[in-house]
Amino acid sequence: MAQYDFKKITVVPTGNDLIDIVLSRTQRQTPTVIHKGNAISRVRQFYMRKVKFTETNFTDKLSKTIEDFPRVEDIHPFYGDLLHVLYNKDHYKLALGQLNTARNLIKRIREDYVKLLKYGDSLYRCKSLKRAALGRMCTVTKRIGPSLAYLEHVRQHMARLPSINTGAPTILICGCPNVGKSSFLNKITRADVEVQPYAFTTKSLFVGHTDYKYLRYQVIDTPGLLDRPLEDRNIIEMCSVTALVNLHAAILFFLDLSGSCGYSISQQAALFHSIKMMFRNNPVLIVCNKTDLQTLEGLSGEDLKLVMEMKSAALKTIPVSTITDEGVMAVKNAACQRLLDQRSERKMKSKKMPTVLNRFHVAMPKPRDQKERPVCIPQAVLEARAEEAAHEERKTEKDIENENGGAGVYSASLRKHYILADDDWKLDILPEFLDGHNVYDFIDPDILQRVEELEREETAVEEDGGDFEMEDEDFTAEAEKDLQEIRKRKKLLIQKHRIKKSTAESRPTVPRKFDKDRKFTTERMGRQLSSLGIDPSRAIERARSRSVSRKGRKRERSVGGDGEDVMEIDGGLDNKKKLRGFKDSAQKMKAVTMARNATKKRNKDARRGEADRVIPTLRPKHLFSGKRSIGKTDRR
């Protein structure tokens, strides 16, 4: 009942490889260093270990191989026969036997040499013994080299055998070569077997699987059979024979009605009869293939008779055409059904059945009277069912969407199902902002009322007349005029002060008695006093009587004469005059600025010009006395 898996067999190394493997292992995994100075017991131990280790490895590897390979007697006869057919049972057994003997020999060698090593008296002696032991083991292994090679070959082939479950329900396809067996297999299963017009396209068994009534069936395709005695059959045919004989399966014997396989119906019938006894009690179906070329009815009388003869030995005959798929399913179903029935029968017949059957009991109520009592469904339910069936034509939103162009094009209107007081409002556009306010913040059912209140408030406040302002007495026109005068005077003062400040850098601070512009005159004083409203005559008189005569004053040069212009010969063109002595106006501007900057300091000191030099201290003390920290004092 088991599924055989020949892929799990470990790789069989060749003789030399095996030796290499074991010896390198020994070298790596045992201690390597020993000196003749060490104690003899240690030396003996060292070499004994090596011998034992080598023997163990050899034994392990050989045992593994022997155990992995299946024993022909122990496996299912189908596989046993198959192995025999393919690899020759005797050769196979012999090889395995050789391995076994080799194993035993190696064991013997080890025992002998370990005994000898126990009495080795020097390092050299022990070493030689070890060498001898290992050497003999290797020789043994070399001798079984061919067997190992053969076994490796067998292993590789076995791994590629189709995995046929001998316990599962199986359908076997057999017949003459080129009849249409492989194409039939391709039709009913997912197997992809090569189909070619030449005979013996299929050279080994092929397995496909198919389902029928929730059960998995194996379908095995076999190479074509020729009408020959068993002894003459070749290996390929023997494969199919093995399958026929050993497997419990529904057999489909394929018949080519047209004879396009190269064999006439009579030949095929002969084949059928010769392998009839292999069928035993397996259900057989005769499948008449290639009905597209030649139908069953169209057969000649002789052929028909032969077919009828075959039919008597079989259960059924089914016409099939694998090209047109006619009858293929019928065949499969028939075969599967037959197998299923057989299985059920067998189960029923088995001893266990009654114990199982006892557990089932279907209780049927005994009819009380002849009254008919059908199934009762309430009317409402029936109606509801009917309505639902009718309602299936409701148009969904999805349908509408698809109609109007699909998901990206149509956008469903969410407003359709709004519940509002008035349905016209569904399509209203709702404003969100107005004049910089959120409309939703103002929504209130009685907002108008409140606004009205507000307005009433406003008007009330207006009528009130606003705040009562305290009236201050306004100024009289005179007072107004005076105020303006005061402000004007103040402004003038400020202006004058500002001018003074801005020119302070270059204007000298000079006491009044040296006023050059002759600002401080008695007329001026008189004007100012009279503007204040005072009679100035007495003040003028007094001032005049005290003033110093102007006789002693120096004659001052007249300011800004026209001397230069008079000297001008041509009468002076404006441009020439302006740029006299200068290259261009920019240069003149620069010169003017330089001159002004130079005179600023002099003006500040109230000097009349460059020549007006006053040295306030002719001999300042700090320059004419004392020592110097830096420099000399011989030039004072």
Examine residue 441 and tell whether it contacts another protein (CB under 8 A): yes
User: According to the binding rule CB under 8 A, does residue 443 interact with another protein?
Assistant: yes
Residue from 435, 556, 562, 570 in contact with another protein (CB under 8 A): 435
Q: CA–CA distance from 410 to each of 370, 399, 401, 407, 413 (Å)?
A: 65, 11, 6, 6, 9
* 68-86 as b/e: b if 16+ CB within 10 A: ebbebeebbebbbbbbbbb
Element (H, E) at 287: strand 284-289
Measured from the CB atom, the residue of 451 and 589 that comes closer to another protein is 451
Three-class HEC string of 465-526: CCCCCCCCCCCCHHHHHHHHHHHHHHHHHHHHHHHHHHCCCCCCCCCHHHCCCCCCCHHHHH
**Options 29-37, 433-441, 498-506, 591-599: segment touching another protein (CB under 8 A):** 433-441
For residues 284 and 493, give the distance between their C-alpha atoms in angstroms, rounded to a whole number.
Answer: 143
447 binds another protein (CB under 8 A): yes
The rounded distance, in Å, linking the Cα atoms of 211 and 188 is 9
Interface segment toward another protein; rule CB under 8 A; list 2-10, 134-142, 210-218, 524-532: 524-532
Considering the complex, what minimum distance in angstroms separates the CB of residue 496 from another protein? Answer: 13
483 binds another protein (CB under 8 A): yes
Q: Beta partners for 206? A: 221
Q: What is the CA radius of gyration of the chain?
A: 68
Token pair 């920019």 is at which residue? 586
Binds another protein (CB under 8 A): choice among 67, 341, 345, 535: 535
**Among 444, 568, 605, 612, interactor with another protein by CB under 8 A:** 444
- Signed CA dihedral, 96, 102, 108, 114: sign only: negative
Q: Does 495 bind another protein (CB under 8 A)?
A: no
**What is the rounded CA–CA span in Å between residue 82 and residue 68?**
18
Q: How far is the CB of 504 from another protein (least distance, A)?
A: 24
- The yes or no reply on residue 378 touching another protein (CB under 8 A) is no
413 binds another protein (CB under 8 A): no
Least separation, in Å, of the C-beta of 523 and another protein?
Answer: 18
Task: Determine the size of the site formed for another protein (CB under 8 A).
Answer: 53
Contact between 6 and 70 (Cβ < 8 Å) = yes
Place of tokens 């079989």: 314
CB of 584 to another protein, least distance (A): 51
Q: Which is nearer to another protein, 348 or 479 (CB)?
A: 479
Can you tell me the distance from the alpha carbon of 243 to that of 221, in angstroms, rounded to the nearest whole number? 10
Q: How far is the CB of 519 from another protein (least distance, A)?
A: 19
* Selection from 238, 234, 185, 174 nearest residue 208 by Cα: 185
User: Which two structure tokens, joined as six digits, stand for 581?
Assistant: 């002595």
126, 441, 474, 510 from 436: Cα distances, Å:
112, 12, 45, 69
Site string for another protein, 339-358 (x = CB under 8 A): --------------------
Q: If binding is defined by CB under 8 A, does position 523 make contact with another protein?
A: no
Q: Is residue 36 a contact partner of residue 46, using CB atoms and an 8 Å limit?
A: no
Q: Which of 469, 556, 584, 634 binds another protein (CB under 8 A)?
A: 469
Minimum CB distance to another protein, residue 562 (Å): 42
Question: Does 430 interact with another protein (rule: CB under 8 A)?
Answer: yes
Q: Is the Cβ of residue 409 or residue 430 nearer to another protein in the bound state?
A: 430
497 contacts another protein (rule: CB under 8 A):
no
User: What binding mask, one character per residue, do residues 295-334 give for another protein by CB under 8 A, x or -?
Assistant: ----------------------------------------
Region from 18-26, 317-325, 483-491, 581-589 binding another protein, contact rule CB under 8 A? 483-491
Tell which residue, 165, 241, 152, has the closest CA to residue 207. Answer: 165
Residues in contact with another protein by CB under 8 A are 418-422, 424-425, 428, 430-445, 447-448, 450-451, 454-455, 457-458, 467, 469-470, 472, 475, 479, 482-483, 485-487, 489-490, 529, 531-535, 537-538
